[in-house]
Amino acid sequence: MGEHDFARTRTGKVDRKQLVAGYEQGTWSTVSNTLAEPASTPVESHSSLARISNRWCQVLGLEADSRSSAGFFDLGGDSLKFAEMIVTIEDEFGVQIPIQRFFENPVLSNLVALVDEARANDAESLGPGSGVVSVRQLMRRSETMLVTWNGDRLSDASLMVGANTTGTRIPVIWVCQSNHEFRTLAEALGPDQPLYGLRSLDKLVEIDELTSEILDTVSYRYLAEILSLHLDEPLVIGGNCSGAIIALAVARKARQFGSEPHPLVLLNWMFSFGRYDGPVVLLQGMDDSATFALKDWTDRPIDWR
């Protein structure tokens, strides 16, 4: 789904109500450029086991035909490998796996059962993969990796997690790289500061491969989730490192809907993704690799005031 697929107003702008409604109705549960027709031939359980077992071993670096009853994470899996496993299996079998159910019991036999169940029920078919990482695959991997993040969610398929959500201060939307970063920030800001975390595309796509299609699709999806919170007060939107790129893209879309962040906060910004005319706060950690640009020849910070 690209920007041209969104419902528009008479003036040609993306319709805010339809954007939020699409998210709440599950339209955003999968994002894809093109969806191939599902394979019509059912896959029997023993066939599924052999194929999935091979993928399981490849992703985890195990010996072929290793069918240990141990859990995925006990065998050396991490969130990135977890995402690779889910997306690879979904593309090969043309199904969508219920991530939360696999995460709750991440063993090979459960994965096989979930795939067979999805095929039998003719679940949302994604069609066979083309071998090319698509926007849909990026979003699906991001969704899969977020299952390990701790926080409140609007739904199992939500790409946003919340912390300190009962706090009374202006909510902060933050794009970062990991659950550790999110939880560390939530703890540092304190229980009265609502914080909503979104994941950057770090380790999913290289920065120089961030096309306008990727940024448009990701930012619209994230904005739909933000608007679905139905917050009446101004928002602070920000991000660190590559997360700041996504935060900038989301802020641009938010301005189109009359929800301009106050302000946009960019931490350790060292990129060039065009002009932004709204209020911006630039923060730079003194130990960051790009901070040399903010110091003089004696290695002292430059007073920009």
Domain boundaries, the chain: 3-29+149-294, 45-120
Instruction: Let me know how long the chain is.
Output: 305
pLDDT at 40: 39
Q: What is the pLDDT of residues 101-148, one digit of tens each?
A: 888 888 998 899 988 888 887 544 444 444 345 677 788 888 888 888
CA atoms of 74 and 61, how far apart (whole Å): 13
pLDDT at 157: 74
- Mean pLDDT across the stretch 232-247? 90
Greatest alpha-carbon span in the chain: 70
- Mean pLDDT across the stretch 276-291? 78
Q: How is 259-277 classified by DSSP, letter by letter?
A: ---SSEEEES---------
For all residues of the chain together, what is the average pLDDT?
Answer: 77
Which of 190, 195, 187 minimizes the C-alpha distance to 239? 195
% of the chain residues with pLDDT over 70:
72
Q: What is the pLDDT of residues 95-104, one digit of tens each?
A: 888 887 888 8
* DSSP E strands, 8-152: none
- By DSSP bridging, strand 236-240 and strand 195-199 are unpaired
Phi, psi of 190 (to 5 degrees): 95, 165
CA atoms of 44 and 161, how far apart (whole Å): 37
Which CATH architecture does the domain made up of 45-120 adopt?
Answer: Orthogonal Bundle (1.10)
Which CATH architecture does the domain made up of 3-29+149-294 adopt?
Answer: 3-Layer(aba) Sandwich (3.40)
CA atoms of 156 and 136, how far apart (whole Å): 17
- Angle ∠(230,232,238) on CA atoms, nearest 5: 80
pLDDT at 50 over 60: yes
| CA gyration radius, the chain | 21
- Mean pLDDT across the stretch 46-58? 83
Phi-psi region of 95 (alpha: psi -120 to 50; beta: other; left: phi over 0): beta
The two domains 3-29+149-294 and 45-120 share their CATH topology (first three levels equal): no
Which H helix or E strand runs over 108?
helix 108-120
Question: Is the bond into 263 cis (omega within 30 degrees of 0)?
Answer: yes
